[in-house]
């Protein structure tokens, strides 16, 4: 559970970072740093697009509008010409660019999850859209619609959420950022490299606390499962413990047997958890590839193993103590 | 104390506390068992023979009196010391075999060696014993795949694998048919005569008791003539 949930958190962030890199821009501009995780609404005037186009070293500019559509999903409004210039355009797996204002382009994962094909109708923002193109994932967003249409529908005409700039040479990024910051104080202007580095657990409000809760729950569940299973095992094996004691096994020997079994159980549980995290990743990719992305994080295997062993050992203390204190005669007469 | 007695018991009393009532199980037992003797204790249910078996085996401490096993005063021993005594000085054979069901016959014998911190291998004499017991070819089977007689023979092998001073057998033929009973009793007698193993056996069965050198009767927590 822990490996899957942490993997989903990290996977979603990494996917967002990958899509941001996929734009091919060098500088990212927003009126708010909250826009990093797509929570801001349009707050910048479209007039800034011309302003940025006139800046030295800037060769392409793209403005986007982002609108949440439930959960962590968002729809992004783009101008396809701007997008093509800055990123080289989408790679269409089926269909092609927008032809009508109510056309929508979705990526392969979103299409697969929602069983969409070119010509399908999909409900977004409480209205029907015609799928005009299905594209390779990894560029900007999973769902894109014409920017103008999104601005009208969300009463943000002439407003943008984010602006992406492509430079003639990436080595000019810092000097251009410094120049822009001096001209536009109060705006968030950072390199795309820095933007993608901000897609981390520490920068998403509540995510670190959520992972903390998941870890705590894992310890509690691990403790309860091992406590109950070891308690049951000790009861079921009362007679066997009596036999060991009759053979001369000390309390330390019995404790050793119980704790070794517990640690083996914890390791087996950890391995099962790792295998299951691969299984959950496969399931996510098969069922909801457009909504969730799970990453396999080997660095967390050790953490998960440590938590499993700790929870299991704590859970085994009482059953082990009970087993070690078992009276041999009573245990041998146990049916 | 004379060294010829491997077990010496003097005025042994054992009282169990049941709720608020003291229940005397042994009321002053005096007994001496010579090294290499095969002794049978017979008596009705409640006569105290099982309690005597538990005290001599170090499974429970006496309430009062003196108990010497191989010269060691059991009545002065702590729980840990009695546990150590069970590793090396005493071997148990129970009516219900009491083999560990998840282990093979070989592992059931090996775990007794492991608990006593002995090496994994068996000495040549024990190999002879395995042949004598007739279970050498059945050692890799788990208890559920063995007959009652075979299980009891494995239990005997486990009891003597650490060469204990005394072998305590509590109704060893109680769960066996007459044919297997004869085999097991014959084995106990062979161990006694060929290896000099001291054996103390509890039984209800007069035919089984007849295999011993000496029969001691118990009633109401005492040894009676």
- The strand order across the sheet containing B21-34 reads B21-34, B5-18, B64-69, B72-73
Instruction: Report d(CA B211, CA B185) in Å as an integer.
Output: 7
Pairing between β-strand B72-73 and β-strand B90-93 as defined by DSSP bridges:
unpaired
**Contact residues, chain A, for B86 at CB < 8 Å:** 245-248
CA distance A234 to chain B (A): 14
Question: Are A128 and A238 in a shared domain?
Answer: no
Residue written as tokens 């870890």? A215
Q: How many residues does chain B have?
A: 225
> HSE-up of B148 (CA within 13 Å, CB side)?
14
Please check whether residue B116 touches A, CB under 8 A. Answer: yes
Question: Are A122 and A224 in a shared domain?
Answer: no
Please check whether residue B103 touches A, CB under 8 A. Answer: no
Scanning chain B, the segments in alpha helix (DSSP H) are 49-56, 79-88, 105-115, 124-133, 148-160, 178-195, 206-209
The domain spanning residue B115 has which CATH number? 3.40.50.300
What is the 3-state secondary structure of chain A? CHHHHHHHHHHHHHHHHHHHHHCCCCEEEECCHHHHHCCCCCCEECCHHHHHHCCCCEEEEEEEEEEECCCCCEEEEECHHHHHHHHCCCCEEEECCCCCCCEEEEEHHHHHHCCCCCCCEEEECCEEEEEEEEECCCCCCCEEEEHHHHHHHCCCCCEECEEEEEECCHHHHHHHHHHHHHHCCCCEEEEHHHHHHCCCHHHCCCHHHHHHHHHHHHHHHHHHHHHHHHHHHHHHCHHHHHHHHHCCCCHHHHHHHHHHHHHHHHHHHHHHHHHHHHHHHHHHHHHCCCCCCCCCCCHHHHHHHHHHHHHHHHHHHHHHHHHHCCCHHHHHCCC
Instruction: Report d(CA A171, CA A193) in Å as an integer.
Output: 12
Question: Are A24 and A143 in a shared domain?
Answer: yes
Look at residue A105 and tell me if it is in a domain.
Answer: yes
pLDDT of residue A36: 54
Question: Are A24 and A107 in a shared domain?
Answer: yes
pLDDT tens sequence across A302-329? 988 888 888 888 888 888 888 888 888 8
Question: Are A315 and A167 in a shared domain?
Answer: no
**Contact residues, chain A, for B54 at CB < 8 Å:** 329
Question: Are A171 and A215 in a shared domain?
Answer: no
Counting the structural domains of chain A, the total is 2
- The answer to which of A34-48, B136-150, B176-190 has the lowest mean pLDDT is A34-48
What average pLDDT score do residues B80-108 get? 93
Look at residue A1 and tell me if it is in a domain.
Answer: no
Domain extent at residue B146: 5-224
Which helix or strand (DSSP H or E) is residue B168 part of?
A: strand B166-170
Question: Are A35 and A78 in a shared domain?
Answer: yes
Instruction: Report d(CA B187, CA B113) in Å as an integer.
Output: 21
Instruction: Report d(CA A328, CA A245) in Å as an integer.
Output: 6
A237: closest chain B residue by CA: B100
Return the bridge partners of A133, or none: A95, A105
Question: Are A42 and A86 in a shared domain?
Answer: yes
Instruction: Report d(CA A299, CA A2) in Å as an integer.
Output: 13
**pLDDT-based confidence at residue B67 (cuts at 50, 70, 90):** very high
Contacting residues for B223 by C-beta, under 8 A, at least 6 apart: B29, B30, B31, B216, B217
Q: Do B115 and A240 lie within an 8 Å CB cutoff?
A: no
Q: Do A249 and B83 lie within an 8 Å CB cutoff?
A: yes
- The answer to which of A35-44, A196-205, A221-230, B58-67 has the lowest mean pLDDT is A35-44
Question: Are A65 and A175 in a shared domain?
Answer: yes
CA distance A328 to chain B (A): 7
Q: Do B115 and A332 lie within an 8 Å CB cutoff?
A: no
What tokens appear for A151 in the block?
């601005």
- For B66, list phi and psi in degrees, rounded to 5: -120, 140
Of A160, A178, A200, the last residue of a domain is A200
Percent of chain B exceeding pLDDT 70 equals: 98
pLDDT of residue B3: 61
pLDDT of residue A331: 86
Chain B residues 179-208 with CB within 8 Å of chain A: none
SS3 B181: helix
Please check whether residue B18 touches A, CB under 8 A. Answer: no
Residue written as tokens 């793209």? A62
Closest to A303 in 3D by CA, of A273, A264, A258, A261: A273
Task: Please determine, for residue A79, whether its predicted confidence score (pLDDT) is greater than 80.
Answer: yes
CA distance B191 to chain A (A): 20
CA distance B88 to chain A (A): 8
Q: Do A248 and B92 lie within an 8 Å CB cutoff?
A: no
Q: Rounded to an integer, what is the distance from CA B127 to the centroid of its chain? A: 21
**pLDDT-based confidence at residue A41 (cuts at 50, 70, 90):** low
**Contact residues, chain B, for A248 at CB < 8 Å:** 83-88, 112, 115-116
How high does pLDDT run on average in chain B?
A: 91
How high does pLDDT run on average in chain A?
A: 87
Task: Please determine, for residue A33, whether its predicted confidence score (pLDDT) is greater than 80.
Answer: no
Q: Do B115 and A244 lie within an 8 Å CB cutoff?
A: yes
CA distance B112 to chain A (A): 6
A250: closest chain B residue by CA: B83
What average pLDDT score do residues A69-74 get? 78
pLDDT of residue B141: 96
pTM comes to 0.72
Look at residue A7 and tell me if it is in a domain.
Answer: no
Question: Are A43 and A119 in a shared domain?
Answer: yes
Reported ipTM: the value is 0.90
Of A164, A183, A200, the last residue of a domain is A200
What tokens appear for B218 in the block?
């118990």
Question: Are A84 and A162 in a shared domain?
Answer: yes
Q: Do A243 and B87 lie within an 8 Å CB cutoff?
A: no
Instruction: Report d(CA B22, CA B209) in Å as an integer.
Output: 32
Q: Do B84 and A248 lie within an 8 Å CB cutoff?
A: yes
Of A151, A177, A200, the last residue of a domain is A200
Radius of gyration for chain A, computed over Cα atoms and rounded to the nearest angstrom: 28
pLDDT of residue A203: 73
What average pLDDT score do residues A184-191 get? 88
Return the bridge partners of A104, or none: A131
Q: Do B80 and A329 lie within an 8 Å CB cutoff?
A: no
Look at residue A245 and tell me if it is in a domain.
Answer: yes
What average pLDDT score do residues B14-34 get? 93
Radius of gyration for chain B, computed over Cα atoms and rounded to the nearest angstrom: 17
Task: Please determine, for residue B108, whether its predicted confidence score (pLDDT) is greater than 50.
Answer: yes
- The answer to which of A25-39, A104-118, A166-180 has the lowest mean pLDDT is A25-39
Q: Do B116 and A253 lie within an 8 Å CB cutoff?
A: no
pLDDT tens sequence across A201-217? 777 777 788 888 888 88
Domain extent at residue A276: 207-332
**pLDDT-based confidence at residue A18 (cuts at 50, 70, 90):** confident
pLDDT of residue B2: 47
Task: Please determine, for residue B1, whether its predicted confidence score (pLDDT) is greater than 50.
Answer: no
Q: Do B100 and A243 lie within an 8 Å CB cutoff?
A: yes
Instruction: Report d(CA A221, CA B175) in Å as an integer.
Output: 44
Please check whether residue A248 touches B, CB under 8 A. Answer: yes
pLDDT tens sequence across B178-222? 999 999 999 999 999 988 999 999 998 889 999 999 999 999 999
């Amino acid at each position: 559970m822990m490996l899957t949930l942490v993997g989903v958190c990290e996977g979603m962030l990494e996917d967002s970072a990958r899509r941001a890199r996929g734009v091919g821009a060098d500088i990212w501009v927003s009126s708010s740093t909250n826009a990093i995780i797509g929570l801001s609404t349009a707050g910048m005037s479209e007039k800034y697009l011309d302003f940025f186009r006139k800046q030295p070293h800037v060769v392409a500019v793209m403005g986007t509008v982002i609108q949440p559509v439930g959960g962590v999903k968002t729809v992004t409004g783009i101008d396809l010409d701007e997008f093509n210039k800055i990123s080289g355009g989408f790679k269409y797996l089926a269909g092609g660019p927008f032809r009508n204002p109510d056309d929508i382009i979705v990526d392969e994962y979103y299409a697969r999850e929602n069983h969409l094909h070119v010509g399908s109708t999909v409900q977004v923002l409480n209205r029907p859209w015609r799928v005009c193109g299905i594209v390779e994932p990894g560029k900007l967003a999973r769902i894109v619609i014409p920017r103008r249409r999104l601005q009208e529908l969300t009463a943000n005409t002439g407003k943008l959420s984010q602006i992406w700039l492509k430079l003639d040479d990436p080595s000019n990024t810092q000097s251009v950022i410094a120049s822009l910051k001096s001209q536009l104080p109060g705006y968030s202007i950072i390199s795309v490299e820095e933007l993608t580095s901000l897609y981390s657990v520490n920068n998403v409000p509540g995510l670190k606390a959520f992972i903390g809760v998941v870890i705590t729950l894992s310890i509690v569940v691990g403790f309860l499962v091992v406590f109950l299973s070891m308690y049951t095992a000790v009861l079921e094996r009362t007679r066997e413990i009596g036999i060991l004691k009759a053979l001369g096994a000390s309390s330390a020997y019995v404790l050793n047997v119980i704790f070794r079994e517990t640690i083996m159980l914890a390791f087996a549980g950890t391995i099962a958890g790792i295998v299951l995290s691969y299984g959950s990743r496969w399931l996510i990719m098969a069922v909801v590839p457009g909504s969730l992305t799970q990453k396999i994080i080997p660095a967390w295997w050790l953490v998960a193993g440590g938590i499993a062993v700790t929870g299991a050992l704590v859970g085994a203390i009482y059953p082990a103590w009970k087993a070690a204190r078992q009276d041999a005669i009573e245990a041998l007469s146990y049916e | 104390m004379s060294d010829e007695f491997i077990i010496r018991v003097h005025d042994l009393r054992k009282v169990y506390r049941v709720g608020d009532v003291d229940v005397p199980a042994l009321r002053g037992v005096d007994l001496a068992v010579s090294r290499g003797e095969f002794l049978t204790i017979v008596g009705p249910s409640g006569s105290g023979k099982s309690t005597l078996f538990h005290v001599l085996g170090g499974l429970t401490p006496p309430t009062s009196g003196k108990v010497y096993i191989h010269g060691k005063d059991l009545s002065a021993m702590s729980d840990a010391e009695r546990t150590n005594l069970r590793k090396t000085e005493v071997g148990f054979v129970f009516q219900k075999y009491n083999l560990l069901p998840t282990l093979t016959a070989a592992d059931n014998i090996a775990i007794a060696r492991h608990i006593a911190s002995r090496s994994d291998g068996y000495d040549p004499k024990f190999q002879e014993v395995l042949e004598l017991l007739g279970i050498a070819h059945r050692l890799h089977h788990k208890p559920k795949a063995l007959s009652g007689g075979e299980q009891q023979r494995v239990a005997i092998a486990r009891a003597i694998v650490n060469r204990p001073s005394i072998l305590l057998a509590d109704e060893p033929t109680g769960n066996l048919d007459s044919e297997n009973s004869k085999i097991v009793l014959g084995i106990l007698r062979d161990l006694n005569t060929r290896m000099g193993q001291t054996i103390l056996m509890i039984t209800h069965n007069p035919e089984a008791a007849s295999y011993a050198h000496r029969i001691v009767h118990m009633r109401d927590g005492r040894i009676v003539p």
